[in-house]
Chain A
Amino acid sequence: MRDFIAYMQTDWRLLIRGPYIWILLVLATGHTGFVLSTVSWITNIGYLMNQFVFLFLAPFSIMALFSGVHGARRDYTLGVDKIMNSIPYHTGKQLMARYVATSSPFIIIAFIPTILWIILSINASSLPVKFTYVIMLLSSSIIAFSYIIAVGWLIGSWIRSRLSYFISFVVWMICIYGGLFASQLLPVSVDGISNFLLIDYKSLGYVDDLWGFSSDSTFWLHRAFYSFLLLTLLLSMIYVMSKARKEPLQKGLYRIGISAALVLSIYSLYLYADLRSERANAFYAQVEFLTEEKQLKSNMNSEIPLEEEMLFDIETYDLFMTYLENKHLQIHSKISIRSLANEKTKVLKFTLKEAFQVERVEVGGQIVDYIRDKDILKIQFPEGIEINDLVEVNIFYTGQVEEWRVVHPYGGDGKMLATVYFATDQELFLPGSLGWYPLLGDVKLQIVSENRRGNIVLEDQYITSGTADYTLTVDYPNTIKLFSNLEMVDRKEMQGRQIVVFEEKDVEDFSLLGGPLVEVMYEADGLKVKAIISELMDKELTYSIVQNYHQSILELFRVLQLPQKHNVITIVPQDSAKGQRVSSKNLGGMYQGSGFYLFNGLYTGEEMTSRVIGELFYLELIYPSMPMSSSKEFFQDAMISYIQYQTIQSPIYLTRHLNETPFYNNQEKRDKNPHARLEKYMNSHTDEEIESMLRRMYERILEDPTTNVDLDILLSK
């Protein structure tokens, strides 16, 4: 040990001699400041950390690699390698001392994101739930830096000429950029393996705008792979160099150590790929099934008559859910249904996700037969349900929820394995559209479609069971906070568990969330707007966003003179990388969508209000579910512009997209352009006249959204 300390002291002195360490110090300090200045607008500290790590650590990894090469070549470049060989020293100790001294500046650099996280967390209104875990997660970059220095050392020891720098750069390029290109060609199960740094966390699914930092085991399997690989490299180098110098060495011990480290490294890699492969295969199997089903239905469409419409009305819906061990959920649905059909009904259909196993079904206290076919649950009524009869159906079922999907980050061609729905004692995400509680009728839960770049995507479909009075009682471990679009009316804690009751009358379905989240709400004039956001997001900013949504929604309903049918509107931001949807989507009692940039802090003040109004129409509060059409888009442009004018007095300007084109300068064509005509009308008429015109346009679109709005008729009134 004394030798090792002496070697270390020498190498430390050598390290601080000359300008190298000072240049590194200036670079580290300057780069920290520069990167911070580029991410300073982000108010979500989870997203901020992701961007910081991405921009900060990646460039330093090349310096670490080259320092490894330099460390290995030092004796050779100084021309003392032959002399050194003649001196009696212990190769293992000397190599380790040099390696540790070379690594030490980079270990400090790798810690900078962790220090930033600690500062940001302490300055936040409350310490994040995963504070300690994230410290471990961010600090694990040390493994990546230690590994890449060892790789540089290996290359520098092997190729003594300066060429070793070039070769190590090629290795770096293959690992980082090569991995990015290969991810489009290779299966998603091996994605990220070459990315020793694991940047960027977001595109790899390890940090999410809503859920914060992930606790996924594949992250640690990846780190374990590189830790054992690092150990293999270091032991191998010591072994080979000691052997070359013919030093006395416990060869057997080294061989066992190298073999064990290599086996553990390969095993970690295998577990990483296997786990990801299992998740991806489940996704592909579902896609295949839905594609085949779609194909089958389109082939048989002309032969099979359309299914009879189910005429039932849910009056009350009580759900009791208990979280058992091993991520199992035990659920009891108690549904009071009234038949509106003209004749006796003998079969009642529900949609319940296939992953749930139905244990029994009771009607009026009697066990009845049922047929389970994939997502469909058909309940038999031997005696039938009379017209206007109110029946109480009790469905008891259990199951696990852990759904992964292969998504294409930011709508591009890249692939990402992302967790979408889950129920663990750390995180819980069960939107109504998932079918985790029986939905009335034969509902298609998911559809397969193609995104604009032609990649396959699996989309959730939400079809409401109608409005009802819902009560949700959840018995869950007390490790997480629970949230819903329903109102929490009671919460009790006992023996590490919590029993929470949510309730709301006259609402369309419900969703349940749990984890490191917070709820920000604004209520006035009979309307409650709430956002369920990550605890890492800024609450004050979210409050003003929610207020803006509230004001804009009221304004929308006022202008169109529509009755306010929603008591509560719940908004949940969706992660930007997973955001394969362009618009927000009703996932059953709540809207999840593309407004992540608002919640992450990109806009403030009037610009934020303006953006909120733009986002408002994605909530589809005023339409029945219908696809986007040119006339709908035209109407939305006019409405957005008018509400912006009313709210922040911004000028009505519908021809923004035409302004730069030569077309705009042609007065004749401009007079015929619908946007220009509407803009002229709106700028020359009173508010009452404009609002009346907008209402007429809205009614016209509701009648037929596919045909274009006839401006001659619309504007002449």
Chain B
Amino acid sequence: MIQLHFKIILSSITWTALGYSLLLLSLTFFLTEINFVIEIQVNHVKGIYEVGFPLFAIFLFSQLFSEEIEEGMLKWILSMPMNHWVYLFERWFVGLGILLIIYTGSILLINYYLLSIPLDEFFLHVLLPSLLLGHVAMLVTILGRSVLLGMAIPLFYWIFESLSLGILTKQLFLFQATFPIPNVDLGFNRLLLCFTVIVLWIMSGWILSKRAYFLK
């Protein structure tokens, strides 16, 4: 079953997103070579993965239900006698698995070959924006019944955050670990992001449960 879900997710965009994750990894290794920085530091890696990795998550998670939606198959699939929560969980689990494998692999490679980085911080703080934007992508793909919206809305969010640097989102600012804004506690901020991820997941499941929504 997992293998089947994996094949469904593996679209041209997923492959490109995987390529992009390799590009991020290479960029981290060659940052000094291209004279972008004099010496690579933890903060540089943090910046690359907190700001750059969410793009991988957006493209990957937007593909979780794209095949069904683009082909107009979701309404047929949901009419089958199946538990939509299990259906969501299986697909999401595969997507999350890919994301975690790529992220962990990249971080460990950097930690082993480039510089020692605090792994707890990278898993508790740096990864969360990617998870949040990925889940936004998944929810909007389902809600909008559109691959276009599934990619465009989280990218819209990402661009706005990178331009405004938290002036609107404040406590929910995505890049607080790299560009800390005053009066926002990182721990509380990450807790909120974590809570939002859970809410987004439940909302995705709830929309999938409204089968009639996909017939309109």
| A161-B146 contact given A55-B163, A63-B152, A166-B59, CB 8 Å threshold | no
* Contact status B167-A23, CB under 8 Å: no
Segment among A33-41, A385-393, A609-617 that sits at the interface with chain B: A33-41
* Contact status A58-B159, CB under 8 Å: yes
Shortest beta-carbon distance from A19 to chain B in Å: 5
* Contact status A66-B151, CB under 8 Å: yes
* Contact status A55-B160, CB under 8 Å: yes
| A66-B148 contact given A77-B70, A78-B72, A163-B13, CB 8 Å threshold | yes
With a cutoff of 8 Å between Cβ atoms, the chain B residues found around residue A79 in the complex are: 71
Q: Chain B 139-172, CB within 8 Å of chain A: the 1/0 string?
A: 0100111111101110111011001100110000
Shortest beta-carbon distance from A242 to chain B in Å: 26
Bound complex: CA A38 to CA B160 (Å) = 12
Q: Which one, B144, B159, B160, contacts A20 given CB within 8 A? A: B144
Q: Chain B 119-152, CB within 8 Å of chain A: the 1/0 string?
A: 0000000000000000000001001111111011
- Tell me what chain B mostly uses at the interface: helix, strand, loop, or mixed: helix
Bound complex: CA A70 to CA B151 (Å) = 11
Q: Chain A 598-616, CB within 8 Å of chain B: the 1/0 string?
A: 0000000000000000000
Q: Which one, A20, A23, A169, contacts B155 given CB within 8 A? A: A169
Q: Chain B 179-216, CB within 8 Å of chain A: the 1/0 string?
A: 00000000000000000000000000000000000001
B106 proximal to A (CB < 8 A)? no
* Contact status A63-B156, CB under 8 Å: yes
**Count of chain B residues with Cβ under 8 Å from any Cβ of A?**
34
With a cutoff of 8 Å between Cβ atoms, the chain B residues found around residue A35 in the complex are: 168
Bound complex: CA A66 to CA B147 (Å) = 10
Interface centre among A34, A37, A70, A165 (most CB of B within 10 A): A165
Bound complex: CA A38 to CA B166 (Å) = 10
A-side residues, CB < 8 A to B, are: 18-20, 23, 27, 31, 34-35, 37-38, 54-55, 58-60, 62-63, 66-67, 69-70, 77-79, 161-163, 165-166, 169
* Contact status B13-A165, CB under 8 Å: yes
With a cutoff of 8 Å between Cβ atoms, the chain B residues found around residue A77 in the complex are: 70-71
- Tell me what chain A mostly uses at the interface: helix, strand, loop, or mixed: helix
Closest to B17 in A: A166
Bound complex: CA A203 to CA B147 (Å) = 35
Q: Can you give 26 A-B contacts (C-beta < 8 A)?
A: A18-B145, A19-B145, A19-B149, A20-B146, A23-B144, A31-B160, A34-B168, A38-B168, A55-B160, A59-B160, A62-B159, A63-B152, A70-B146, A70-B147, A70-B148, A77-B71, A78-B72, A161-B12, A162-B11, A162-B12, A162-B13, A162-B66, A162-B147, A165-B13, A169-B151, A169-B155
Closest to B170 in A: A38
| A20-B156 contact given A38-B168, A166-B17, CB 8 Å threshold | no
With a cutoff of 8 Å between Cβ atoms, the chain A residues found around residue B159 in the complex are: 58-59, 62
Bound complex: CA A163 to CA B216 (Å) = 27
Bound complex: CA A578 to CA B17 (Å) = 40
B16 proximal to A (CB < 8 A)? yes
With a cutoff of 8 Å between Cβ atoms, the chain A residues found around residue B145 in the complex are: 18-19
* Contact status B146-A166, CB under 8 Å: no
Shortest beta-carbon distance from B158 to chain A in Å: 9
